[in-house]
Amino acid sequence: MQYRNLGNSRLQVSALGLGCMGLSFGYGPATDKPAAIRLLRAAFDAGINFFDTAEAYGPYSNEELLGEAFSSLRNQVIIATKFGFKEGQPALGLDSRPENIRAVAEASLRRLKTDYIDLFYQHRVDPSVPIEDVAGTIKDLIAEGKVKHWGMSEAGAGSIRKAHAVQPLAALQSEYSLWWREPENEILPTLEELGIGFVPFSPLGKGFLTGAINENTEFDKNDFRNIVPRFAEENRKANLAFVDLLKNMAIEKSATPAQIALAWLLAQKPWIVPIPGTTKLHRLQENIGAVAIELSATDLLTIEEAASKINIHGARYPQHLQQLTGK
């Protein structure tokens, strides 16, 4: 495993992290606890030290899972969790009031069986609470030793700048992949200027870029992708052109489409750390294999030229969720 620093922070993490949400939430039934713990430990044994969770994943059960898996390894792992929803439930709305941030921090510490949070993200910007108040509360938690670093998720450049001026951010977490490149317009230049690391979630396009999904795939009734326009049947069929692009490069590199998609992200900036999620050991091993793949300047140009000719069909979020991003 290779390791990277998140921007100018001293937070060093594995070049790939593990997004843990899907073990408990979002993609159908939760993985049973023994299997989930085996996967988390296997990731650690393979060199991954960066694990991403949130109170909203479950809610609460995902943090408890990590607390159980890593209580004996606490000083060897970097755990990121998040605050920002009422009672940890996105459906109830946003809540980044200072008193809620503090309450979430204390509850997360208990569930994670720890006395500090390595990286504490604001899950979404709350327009009703000045970002300076949010950053100030985090600054106090850092001074108290309960939080080591902080970050934001799906925030706009303006909010990032205001927050960073009060308490420097270690990382921004947002969606980014060959399938969703909007961060290149304004976010990546802002992060580079300010020395903030970038943690792309859904680096495999919520599974689509693995090549394992097509227009005939049926998702579990509780799978979040059922309400994502980009995953409507007709859009999936059209978007398979993107998977074909990855398959062609994968053949040349004796790799898989997922590995090429992750290697492409890793090649963009040395301070980018993707966090693909999975519930399967063989997919975990496949993802880790991407770290060893080197894409040359010619490879990257080939991918760029092919990607520029493909139109992506469907929005990445339904409208009610899209309204929460970019603030």
Query: What residue type is assigned to position 178 of the chain?
Result: L
Place of tokens 């760029």: 304
**What is the β-pairing status of strands 12-14 and 3-5?**
antiparallel
Instruction: Determine the 3-state secondary structure of 112 from DSSP.
Output: coil
- How far is C-alpha 112 from the geometric centre of its chain's CA atoms? 19
167/147 Cα distance (integer angstroms): 12
CA-derived radius of gyration, the chain: 19
**Upstream peptide bond of 59 is cis (omega within 30 degrees of 0):** yes
Q: Can you read off the two tokens belonging to residue 59?
A: 């809610």
290/183 Cα distance (integer angstroms): 22
**∠ CA(169), CA(186), CA(305), 5° rounding?**
125
Phi/psi of residue 24, each to 5°? -130, -15
Query: What residue type is assigned to position 55 of the chain?
Result: E
**Upstream peptide bond of 98 is cis (omega within 30 degrees of 0):** no
Place of tokens 């490149």: 181
**Would residue 57 show up in a list of annotated catalytic residues for this protein?**
yes
Beta-carbon contacts of 260 under 8 Å, excluding residues fewer than 6 positions away, are 246, 249, 250, 253, 290, 293, 295, 303
Q: Which residue among the candidates 27, 57, 60, 121 is catalytic per the annotation?
A: 57
Instruction: Determine the 3-state secondary structure of 118 from DSSP.
Output: strand
44/16 Cα distance (integer angstroms): 11
Catalytic annotation, residues = 57
